[in-house]
A and B are shown apart, each in its own frame.
Chain A
Amino acid sequence: MGMELNSETIGNALLVTVCEPRIDAAVAIQFKDRMREVSDGGPDRVILDMSAVSFLDSSGLGAVVAVMKFLGKERSFELAGLTPTVAKVFRLTRMDSIFTIHPDLETAIAPLANAS
């Protein structure tokens, strides 16, 4: 089972868009591996656009946490566009207190547009 991610650099940020409706136990490892590939050597700020993801289970949540850990303290990992069911998983586990979460992609990249 594949895990398609699109990535582009906007200003000093790497924008990664998840092009799959689910980050679940079937693809959690592929998600981690693909995130490692696309973020390797890129900008310090990484924004993950999850607006296409309608379902995330605890394996998917664990994979998102793993991404933040391998990016490390030197790089910033931010989330954008959480759909209601995905947002609920972050809220119930209190993981919403750990991540920077933008309501949508426009909000996440607005400061970049203003700066340029």
Chain B
Amino acid sequence: MTDDLRLVFPGTTVAVRTALLKMVGNLQQLDLDAEKIGSIELVVAEALNNIVEHAFAEQNGRIDLRLTNGERGLYCAIEDDGSPMPDGRPPIGNPPDLSVDLQDLPEGGFGWFLIREITRDLGYERVENHNRLTFRIPVGDDFTRS
């Protein structure tokens, strides 16, 4: 990809999938291994899925995704014109509680945990009628150590 990628698309799961495939096609032109591209795709997918599920739960709208390749990694800025985040900030993203009975295992709530595990410098602001989520995905060091 060039040093800057911008994709604008409707806030639906199908449009998110198409945008992710486009993004991955661009990332493959950078000097990144397949596993890192997988991590980037995962974290951007989680951020976009949250927007579709929550910000656009009761309305339609557009998502504006920007990726910028910088010295300290890949900088991501995602804007949408949906509902604001509750409490005005992104969820804490606690690790899922797995010490429960089979029928009580969580089927969701992993998204913010994964975003916070993989990204750095997470920021959120409400600007006029837009949500703006920003984060950095460190590239070049072992950023997904676990």
Contact = CB atoms under 8 A, between A and B. Distances in A.
Interface stretch (A11-19, A36-44, A91-99, A102-110): A91-99
A4 B39 CA distance: 25
Interface string B46-71: 10010011000000000000000000
Number of chain A interface residues as a range: 20 to 34
Contacts, number: 88
Interface of B: 13-14, 16-17, 34-35, 38-39, 41-42, 45-46, 49, 52-53, 95-96, 98, 102-103, 105-108, 110-111, 113-114, 117-118, 144, 146
Given A72-B102, A85-B35, A59 B42 contact: no
A62 B53 CA distance: 14
A68 B16 CA distance: 27
A88 B39 contact: yes
B42 A25 contact: no
